[in-house]
Amino acid sequence: MHHIRQNIFIAFSWSLLILAAYPQASQPSPLEAEVRKRAAAVEQKVIAWRRDIHQHPELGDQEKRTSGLVADHLRSLKMDVRTGVARTGVVGIMKGGQPGPTVVLRADMDALPVTEPAGLPFASKAKGTFEGQQVDLMHACGHDAHTAMLMGVAEVLAGIREQLPGIVMFLFQPAEEGSSLYPARTGKAWGAKLMLEEGVFKQTKPDAVFAVHVMPGPSGQISYKTGAVAASSDELAIRVTGKQGHGGMPWNTIDPVTTSATIISGLQMIVSRRADLTRSPAVITIGTIHGGTRANIVPDFVEMAGTVRTYDEAIREQIRREIQITAQKIAESAGAKAEVTVTKMYETTVNDEALTVRMLPVVERAADGRVARALLSGASEDFSFFAQQAPGVYLFLGITPRDQDPARAAPNHSPQFFVDESALVVGTRTLASLAVNFLATGGGAR
């Protein structure tokens, strides 16, 4: 009990130190009331933009219509606009009336290869090409809402730009879900990483980066977390090669199917028996498995693909090594061969503790007190790359209607994923308020 009290005291003292370093953050900016009024004024525009984008989804690196809509809007607000960033991204630069720090606000624009059920009057009927196949498209992760909200934020802040000290950079990012043109195995970068490789921050170095992601949760509630908030992501590919032969005489073959099944079981033991889960959670999921041509033939090979999610870099590297050893040794024990490729995708998204604590009062005011602590998310985000360049805060906006149980709501990436549009004004207001307060306090201590 003594140690528990001591730890609580240390944590409380640390929070006080952070707040002391940022005394201005707890006080409302004089512009907050103006932000609230202007966010309310653009609410119906945000909803209309969201419905338009939802009805016309585009895959990663193919967001030409969406980026055109965004670019035209930013130009109408008299911003410095760059298009074709990281293939289809858009960057808007808005200079305030006085010198000051730079804040970055980011939204992702891409959709998913998901078939949307009928029901919404603006439901998607769009199709696209994904890995050489024609697929149905849907904004099943809420990026349509992100793009629309940031367009609304741009209009809100453009109306008060002369009163803002500093620069606001609006990043409308393509391919957060990955490139539909260049799979990971090609080695080509996409999304946030490609934006950085092209030098998006070369001329204008940010002092802070902010983003909001819609998720199942009470509509209009903002959730936050300090430290790791989204997992790192590695793409896993395993090819198991055996010896083809007759299914009725398996003793004359080396069966890659049964070997693959044993490998999959072995991979789960890495998490349950090898990774220190008291230090950090970890997940290994095999999402696809392909092999064989007909029922009575033992195939020559089987190919599997999956994902690895971690929050701790040491555990991440340990799991990468263990996957190689486990797959190869199990295959050898069956007389087969396993070729393993683990490709790093996204880093762990880490919310800067000092900046998160500093901006929490701003979030609470913008969300009218509807704020909660977020749990760790098994999802990954390439916002992580931006947050490595400057202190970042990544928040979650609840979009489950208030008469429904968020625990029963369809998750992101589901065809049943649903956005309560009354929450969008809260997201718009929150992002705009974060920018205004960060700039008004001079960026704070670094």
Three state DSSP letters for 111-133: CECCCCCCCCCCCCCCEEEECCE
* Per-residue pLDDT band at 299 (split at 50, 70, 90): very high
CATH numeric code, 21-226+352-440? 3.40.630.10
What is the rounded CA–CA span in Å between residue 340 and residue 330?
Answer: 12
Report CA-CA distances (Å) from 352 to 17, 168, 210, 239, 280.
15, 19, 11, 39, 18
Per-residue pLDDT of 207-226, as tens digits, reads: 999 999 999 999 999 999 99
Instruction: Find where tokens 């005011």 sit.
Output: 365
What is the rounded CA–CA span in Å between residue 312 and residue 6?
Answer: 25
Residue 280 tokens read as: 């950090």
pLDDT above 50 for 8: no
What is the rounded CA–CA span in Å between residue 56 and residue 253?
Answer: 50
Residue 366 tokens read as: 């913008």
Q: Cβ neighbours of residue 5 under 8 Å, at least 6 residues apart?
A: none
Looking at residue 2, its pLDDT comes to 41
pLDDT, mean over the chain = 93
Q: Cβ neighbours of residue 53 under 8 Å, at least 6 residues apart?
A: 66, 69, 109, 139, 144, 147, 148
* Per-residue pLDDT band at 90 (split at 50, 70, 90): very high
Per-residue pLDDT of 106-149, as tens digits, reads: 999 999 999 999 999 999 999 999 988 999 999 999 999 999 99
Residue 70 tokens read as: 């965004």
pLDDT above 70 for 14: no
Catalytic annotation, pick one of 63, 116, 176, 421: 421
Residue 395 tokens read as: 């928040």
211 strand-pairing partners: 394
* % pLDDT > 90, the chain: 90
* Per-residue pLDDT band at 17 (split at 50, 70, 90): very low
* Per-residue pLDDT band at 273 (split at 50, 70, 90): very high
Looking at residue 25, its pLDDT comes to 56
Helix (H, G, I), strand (E, B) or coil at 279: coil
Q: What's the chain's length in residues?
A: 446
Angle at which helices 64-76 and 43-55 cross, to 10°: 160
Please tell me what DSSP assigns to residue 221.
Answer: -
Looking at residue 444, its pLDDT comes to 55
Query: Burial of 148 by CB count in 10 Å (0-12 exposed, 13-18 middle, 19+ buried)?
Result: buried
Catalytic annotation, pick one of 346, 347, 381, 394: 346
* More confident: 124 or 446: 124
pLDDT above 50 for 21: no
Whether 421 is catalytic is: yes
End-to-end CA, the chain: 36
Whether 394 is catalytic is: no
Pick from 50, 31, 35: which is nearest to 419 by CA?
50
* ∠ Cα 105 110 116 (to 5°): 130
Task: List the domain boundaries for the chain.
Answer: 21-226+352-440, 232-346
What is the rounded CA–CA span in Å between residue 250 and residue 254?
Answer: 7
Looking at residue 58, its pLDDT comes to 98
CATH 3.30.70.360 fits 232-346, yes or no: yes
